[in-house]
Structure 1
Amino acid sequence: MAYERILSSQNKMEVKKYEDTIAKEDCLTPHDIIKDPYVLEFLDLPSNTDFYEKDLEKALIDKLQHFMLELGKGFSFVSRQRRFKAENDNYFVDLVFYNYILKCFILIDLKVGSLSYQDIGQMDFYVRYYEENIKTNTDNPTIGIILCTEKNATIVKYSVLHESQQLFASKYKLYLPSEEELAKELEAERRQIETNITEQATD
């Protein structure tokens, strides 16, 4: 169909450019779209964590357009505090989006503080529930993102987050980092990549 559209178009180069863009988007994976970290300076929240998760959620909803721009391409808002019931218990997902490029639901859980294994287990449960009860046959696998202020590398390594294609933990920052902080961040990432490469080589 793309070939036919190019042949029948008067402006073949423009149509080809558009088709190439669509083809690239079709090849994107969650790792290509999900950021780490997210910078939420537009919320005007204090740089420390002297606020509650509900305050963070409200601030994100109040500035939803800014947040969706920070999330990146293809995100559309679905719901806030999406409730679902499992037997006699009610559960709530903080924010639910749908990404039309990845063609899947994206669940976001907000945490004020460091990532814990309980947070990972909770998100794993949410994703499994959506897989079983919400997503349709035309949707790709549901993705869960835990937004937290700090990630413990050991917890990430020895949990279901490790090499998962559906569960992610991303840090958020309430201000743009300085050059010094950015350099430290890059150095830490470089060391982590080198460690991962070394571990893979010894496996």
Structure 2
Amino acid sequence: MTDKVKDISAIVPQSEYDALIGRIDNLWTQAKNRAVEAVNTELLDANWQTGQYIVEFEQKGQIRAEYGKFLITRLAKDLTVRRGRGFSRSNLIYMRKFYLCFPKSETVSHLLTWSHYFELLKCEDSMEMQFYFQEAINQKWKVRELKRQIKSSRFQRLALSTDKKGVLALAHKGHPIQTP
């Protein structure tokens, strides 16, 4: 095998071989990225639909107050037995909130992961959530950066500024990038 490699390198210039390696490596990197995006899209859709099913089930119930207290807890137990991890009571509450905060599936951005949405859903104020949602997309924040920005109260600091209209615009459009 070593002799064949020596023969190839004697016939093919190293730069051409390096270009071949680069193209194949790039192909597999792109394939992996597309696969990750597809998985993320499906997981977000499944979480959104789970929230939708829970809300629709709750709204059809006649004695909602009675069973509403126990529905999420019972679902968490039963789904965990059937599906394994990922269906804790807390996660189901966030899936429900995900649907309620983004009632149109088209408004869910697949540029963000479930971990992004999990952090966004912790915001008490819908305008604050919308601000961080737009910023996370526009600035391409990783989850760690989103958490840092929320913890540092970026929205509140901007809201305390004198430009209230500007802050409202940021909540809907995001912060424009000033430098490349």
TM-score in terms of structure 2 length: 0.28
Larger strand percent: 1
TM-score in terms of structure 1 length: 0.26
Larger helix percent: 2
